[in-house]
């Protein structure tokens, strides 16, 4: 498998109002109308989950969770989503260690085998572009990208955008601060793509210089209309942000422990003092988690911190919605 060098994905199949059977590999496939559909279905799913309603939407269907890279939230929330909808899962974590992949089986063969057993495949992989490659290999069932290397994480963005939509009632005219490892954070890459679909959004991106967005991403996102302002120092944080989106330094993308430590030492941590100085009273603080020296746990008690509250729960509801749509059951 070769690694993609660019995050640009011009040739993905757009959803265009019809989710059934579609692979979901990039935010680029969604229009505003498609996102509105997901959010409308998410509201129904939230009711089902909150009330523990017995549900048959995915009854008779089996979803393969194929996770080549460690994950707790995404894996757990996909499993919860399928089961809340009455479906079943076939779960493989770390197949490189426990399956025929360790015997040298090709990625394409592994995908086609799991495809033969299931009705959809949810894939997490450390290589950028792996989800697209899997989608090409699986011709009968949809593949959902649950994070491919430092490329994209579309389902994280669905839950992030739903969290913003629930809080603000809109996804346009927002000012945000996205902090941390902008170069490698797939959740930042997908979120910026999503927010670029809406009018008049201004996003400040706070990172050490060596972790700023790739120039390809920077240019293509600006072209889409999202106003991007890169900053590198705490003092430059604006005081009028509607939300902060904090991310950890993506340790697994660094060539050496020293390089990682160097980057980590330049990171601005979200602390109570930082919020006190720069954050509005009615903003929210998000984090895709896990937080690793990114958000001080002392912030958790602040009611503006939603990462362990609504944001995490919305992961299950939005994934329920997407699965029901892609599997043609809603
Ligand atoms: N869980 C998110 C991801 O898989 C964020 C992170 O790992 O930092 O990208």
Judge whether 227 counts as a catalytic residue: no
Q: Is the CB of 154 under 6 A from ligand 1?
A: no
Q: How many CB atoms lie within 10 A of CB 251?
A: 15
Residue 102 is predicted with a pLDDT of 73
Phi and psi (nearest 5°) for 275?
A: -65, -45
Please give, one letter per residue, the 3-state secondary structure of the chain: CCCCCCCCCCCCCCCCCCCCCCCECCHHHCCHHHHHHHHHHHHHHHHHHHCCCCCCCCCCCEEEEEECCCCCHHHHHHHHHHHHCCCEEEEEECHHHHCHHHHCCCHHHHHHHHHHHCCEEEEEECCCCHHHHHHHHCCCCCEEEEEECCCECHHHHHHHHHHHHHHHCCCCCCEEEEECCCCCCHHHHHHHHHHCCCCCCEEEEECCHHHCCCHHHHHHHHHHCCEEEEECCHHHCCCCCCEEEECCCCHHHCCCHHHHHHHHCCCCCECHHHHHHHCCCCCEEECCCCCCCCECHHHCCCCCECCCCHHHHHHHHHHHHHHHHHCCCC
Beta pairing partners, 244: 177, 285
300 Ramachandran zone, left/alpha/beta (phi>0; psi -120 to 50): alpha
What are the structure tokens assigned to 30, written together? 């969604």
CA of 187 to the centre of ligand 1 (A): 7
Distance (Å) from CA 188 to ligand 1 centroid: 10
Ligand 1 atom closest to the Cα of residue 69 is 4
7 is an active site residue:
no
| Residues 34-76 pLDDT 10s | 999 999 999 999 999 999 999 999 999 999 999 999 898 999 9
Distance from C-alpha of 330 to C-alpha of 326, rounded to nearest angstrom: 9
Query: Is there an atom of ligand 1 within 6 Å of 153 CB?
Result: yes
- The confidence score (pLDDT) of residue 11 equals 63
| Active-site annotation holder among 84, 124, 132, 248 | 124
Evaluate: CB of 84 within 6 angstroms of ligand 1. no
- Measure 289 CA to ligand 1 centroid, in angstroms: 6
Confidence (pTM):
0.95
Report the pLDDT value the prediction gives residue 70, as an integer from 0 to 100.
86
Q: Is the CB of 248 under 6 A from ligand 1?
A: yes
Catalytic pick from 22, 84, 153, 291? 153
Q: Is the CB of 194 under 6 A from ligand 1?
A: no
Which residues does 283 contact at the CB level (< 8 Å), separation at least 6? Answer: 241, 242, 243, 244, 304
Per-residue pLDDT reduced to its tens digit, 66-119: 999 989 899 999 999 999 999 999 999 988 876 777 778 899 999 999 999 999
Cβ(165)–Cβ(39) below 8 Å: yes
How far from 33 is each of 39, 213, 238, 322, CA to CA, in Å? 10, 28, 31, 14
The dihedrals phi and psi of 181, each to the nearest 5 degrees, come to: -95, 75
The whole-angstrom separation of Cα 184 and Cα 149 is: 8
Measured from the CB, is residue 149 less than 6 Å from ligand 1? no
Q: Is 289 left (phi over 0), alpha (psi -120 to 50) or beta?
A: left
125 lines ligand 1 (CB under 6 A): no
2 is catalytic: no
pLDDT at position 99 is 72
Domain boundaries 27-153+313-326, corresponding CATH code: 3.40.50.1370
Query: How many angstroms separate the alpha carbon of residue 136 from the centre of ligand 1?
Result: 24
Residue 12: what pLDDT? 73
Distance, CA 48 to ligand 1 centroid (Å)?
A: 27
> 294 CB under 6 A from ligand 1?
no
CA dihedral 203, 204, 206, 210 (to 10 degrees): 80
Q: Give the residue extent of every domain in the chain.
A: 27-153+313-326, 155-310
State how far the Cα of 303 lies from the Cα of 309, in Å rounded to an integer: 9
Q: What is the pLDDT of residue 206?
A: 98
Q: Are 140 and 167 in contact (CB under 8 A)?
A: no
Catalytic site includes residue 84: no
Among 37, 42, 74, 110, the active-site one is 74
Whether the CB of 212 sits within 6 Å of ligand 1: no
Q: Are 64 and 120 in contact (CB under 8 A)?
A: yes
pLDDT score for 1: 44
Known active-site residue 262: no
Do the domains at 27-153+313-326 and 155-310 have one common CATH topology? Answer: yes
Fold of 155-310: Rossmann fold (3.40.50)
- The pLDDT value recorded for residue 6 is 41
Mutate to test the pocket of ligand 1, among 27, 180, 187 (most ligand atoms within 8 A of CB): 187
Average pLDDT of adjacent 10-residue blocks, the chain of 330 residues: 42 91 97 98 98 98 96 95 98 83 87 98 97 96 98 98 98 98 98 98 98 97 96 98 98 96 96 98 97 96 97 98 98
Question: What residue owns the CA closest to ligand 1's atom 4?
Answer: 147
């Amino acid at each position: 498998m070769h690694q993609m060098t660019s995050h640009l994905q011009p040739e993905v199949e757009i959803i265009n109002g019809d989710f059934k059977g579609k692979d979901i590999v990039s935010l680029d496939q969604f229009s505003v109308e498609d996102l509105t559909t997901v959010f409308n279905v998410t509201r129904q799913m939230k009711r089902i989950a909150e009330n523990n309603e017995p549900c048959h939407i995915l009854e008779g269907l089996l979803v393969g969770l194929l996770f080549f890279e460690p994950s707790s939230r995404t894996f757990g929330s996909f499993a919860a989503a399928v089961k809340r909808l009455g479906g079943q899962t076939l779960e493989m974590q770390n197949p490189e260690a426990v399956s025929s992949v360790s015997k040298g089986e090709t990625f394409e063969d592994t995908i086609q085998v799991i495809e033969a057993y299931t009705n959809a495949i949810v894939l997490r992989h450390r290589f950028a572009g792996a989800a697209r490659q899997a989608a090409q290999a699986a011709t009968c069932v949809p593949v959902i990208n649950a994070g491919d290397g430092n490329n994209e994480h579309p389902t994280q963005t669905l839950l992030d955008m739903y969290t913003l939509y629930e809080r603000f009632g809109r996804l346009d005219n927002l000012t945000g601060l996205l902090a941390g490892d902008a170069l490698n954070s797939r959740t930042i890459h997908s979120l910026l793509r999503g927010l670029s679909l809406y009018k008049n959004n201004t996003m400040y991106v706070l990172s050490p210089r060596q972790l700023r967005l790739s120039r390809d991403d920077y240019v293509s996102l600006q072209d889409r209309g999202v106003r991007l302002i890169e900053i590198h120092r705490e003092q430059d944080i604006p005081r009028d942000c509607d939300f902060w989106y904090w991310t950890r330094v993506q340790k697994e993308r660094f060539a050496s422990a020293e390089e990682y430590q160097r980057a980590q030492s330049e990171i601005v941590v979200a602390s109570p003092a930082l919020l006190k100085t720069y954050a509005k009273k009615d903003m929210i603080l998000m984090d895709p988690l896990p937080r690793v020296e990114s958000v001080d746990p002392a912030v958790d008690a602040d009611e503006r911190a939603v990462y362990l509250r609504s944001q995490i729960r919305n992961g299950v509801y939005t994934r329920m919605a997407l699965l029901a749509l892609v599997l043609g059951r809603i």
